[in-house]
Structure 1
Amino acid sequence: MILDPGNYLLIGLAAIAAGMVNALAGGGTLITFPMLTMVGVPAVVANVTNTVALCPGYLGATLAQWNEIRAQKKRAILYLPASIFGGIAGALLLLNTGERLFRSVVPFLILAAALLLAVSDPLRNWVLRRAAGVGADVSKMEIWGVLPVALAAVYGGYFGAGLSVIVLAVLGLVLSDSLTKLNALKQSVSLVVNVAAAVFFVFSGKVNWPAAGVMAVCALLGGVLGGKLAGKIKPVVLRWMVVSIGVIVGVIYLIRG
């Protein structure tokens, strides 16, 4: 599907905004996915294209925390295979969901993602309080985290918005460790889920490659700009702006049916 030049401009600007938002606060999918559907891309194709296009951004964030991830090899061996299978399962579920059915659940997915973004700060503070004073490197409960991580990965492969918040919540429940380590592990899980889903989508024939190419380049540019703006823009303000956008878009989708 080839879009008009003006539409590529719109999705490019949305991807720049998403890259900036992801670098500063998270929730970029709440900007790019609605824009893709607004310019006429079918919902399932828009979701697939969005996953593929924004995947490189997760790589950059993961590499930035590589030392913390490398120090948790046992956990990575435990959780990353579950993340791969969950991401593929979610992608498979999406591709077997009809366009009409997916459009009917999109409003609820967007509103749920907006809610997750809204509670991300309280959730992070809870994880931080729970981790305070903990010196153990490995939690006895970590084995029990495989199932909820896999379920979170299924969601990530299916839609993805708010995945990082869900994964951090799961890790905070089953592991006792510093927020720095939990955040790094969360980043690696999110990357693996998105890469697994994206690789699966590449061979699905559902990716709008011109749109994905424009978005990937623009999202990387937005990530760079976001990094330079860090400290100049309050993440909490940006986060609530994205939450507001998500709620408005979700309600509009709900009304339109």
Structure 2
Amino acid sequence: MVYDPLLLALLAFLGLIAGWINTLAGGGSNLTLPMLMVLGLPPDVANGTNRVGVILQGVVAVRGFHHYGKLDTPSIASILVPSMTGGGVGALIAALVPNVALKPLLLGTVLTMSAVILLRPGFIAPPPGTPVKSVNDSRLAWWGVFAAGIYGGFVQAGVGFILLAALAGGLRYDLVRANALKMVCTLAVTSVSLVIFIWFDQVAWIPGLILALGTMLGSYLSVRFAISVQQSTIKWFLFAMTLVSCAAAVLF
């Protein structure tokens, strides 16, 4: 397949924006999935190809948060179990079933997150000093991470919102550390789902790797921003991204 160089350049630029958004909030795939389809990829292949950028963006983000001491490494193993299990289930569903429920599922997710940020800001942004819970001690948080894994395996767009609800809301991490663990979960879920999409031959590598160049740079810049601002700034950025995701879901 021959790709338009200008469209590939635009894909890389949108990848940069998506990498920034995904690292701090979620919903960046609302930009990249339509662009992949503009390149001529069918929806299922666009869905699989998008994971190439997401997985490499996740590597950069996790390394960055770890470098700045914002990653709770002892909690990673327990959180990976529900996220990876859910991711495998979701990716199998996506590979075998049309994405008919995508738009209402995405809209419901981001609208709920918007309402929570406005009506109960302390839920998604715990005050300093709030004790952190273990996913093994919170059944609700375990199932929340598992549900996020299913959603992330099914389609990437908006999974960050569900993970932040589980990690910041359920486990009471501040938004910087919640985002760090969110990227670990996203990386794990995407690794499982990418293998399944490759197995079903639903990945176009050229646009996928070009997209990844943008998402990696965006993620690198986003981590540096996250560790230098107050949690309230991240909270309102998260709220803005929920509104953008709503608009994108309606338009596309």
Partner of 1:187: 183
Q: Which has the larger radius of gyration?
A: 1
Partner of 1:203: 199
Mark the runs of 5 or more structure 2 residues left unpaired by the alignment. Answer: none
Partner of 2:86: 86
Q: TM-score, normalised by structure 1?
A: 0.76
* Deviation digits for residues 52-101 of structure 1 (CA, Å, limit 9, x no counterpart): 222111122222333554553xx433321221121111111000013xxx
| Equivalent AA in structure 2 for residue 29 of structure 1 | S
SS of residue matched to 1:161: coil
Which is further off, 56-65 or 178-187? 178-187
Pairs within 5 Å for 1:131-170: 133-135=129-131, 138=134, 141-170=137-166
Given that 1:128 and 1:178 are in contact with CA atoms closer than 8 Å, whether structure 2 keeps it comes out as yes
Pairs within 5 Å for 1:60-139: 60-66=60-66, 67=69, 69-72=71-74, 75-98=75-98, 102=99, 104-112=100-108, 114-115=110-111, 118=114, 121-122=117-118, 125-129=122-126, 133-135=129-131, 138=134
Measure, in 2, the Cα distance between the counterparts of 1:45 and 1:31.
16
* Deviation digits for residues 24-77 of structure 1 (CA, Å, limit 9, x no counterpart): 5543111111111233221111111111222111122222333554553xx433
Given that 2:27 and 2:160 are in contact with CA atoms closer than 8 Å, whether structure 1 keeps it comes out as no
Given that 2:20 and 2:222 are in contact with CA atoms closer than 8 Å, whether structure 1 keeps it comes out as yes
Partner of 2:212: 216
Shift of 1:167: 1.6
Q: TM-score, normalised by structure 2?
A: 0.77
Measure, in 2, the Cα distance between the counterparts of 1:241 and 1:182.
18
Measure, in 2, the Cα distance between the counterparts of 1:135 and 1:240.
24
Runs of 4+ in 1 over 6 A off after TM superposition: 228-232, 234-238
Mark the runs of 5 or more structure 1 residues left unpaired by the alignment. Answer: none
- CA change 1:173–1:43 in 2 (3 A) is same
Given that 2:116 and 2:123 are in contact with CA atoms closer than 8 Å, whether structure 1 keeps it comes out as no
SS of residue matched to 1:3: coil
- CA change 1:68–1:202 in 2 (3 A) is same
SS of residue matched to 1:65: helix
Measure, in 2, the Cα distance between the counterparts of 1:227 and 1:164.
15
Aligned residues, how many?
245
| Equivalent AA in structure 2 for residue 222 of structure 1 | G
Which is further off, 190-199 or 205-214? 190-199
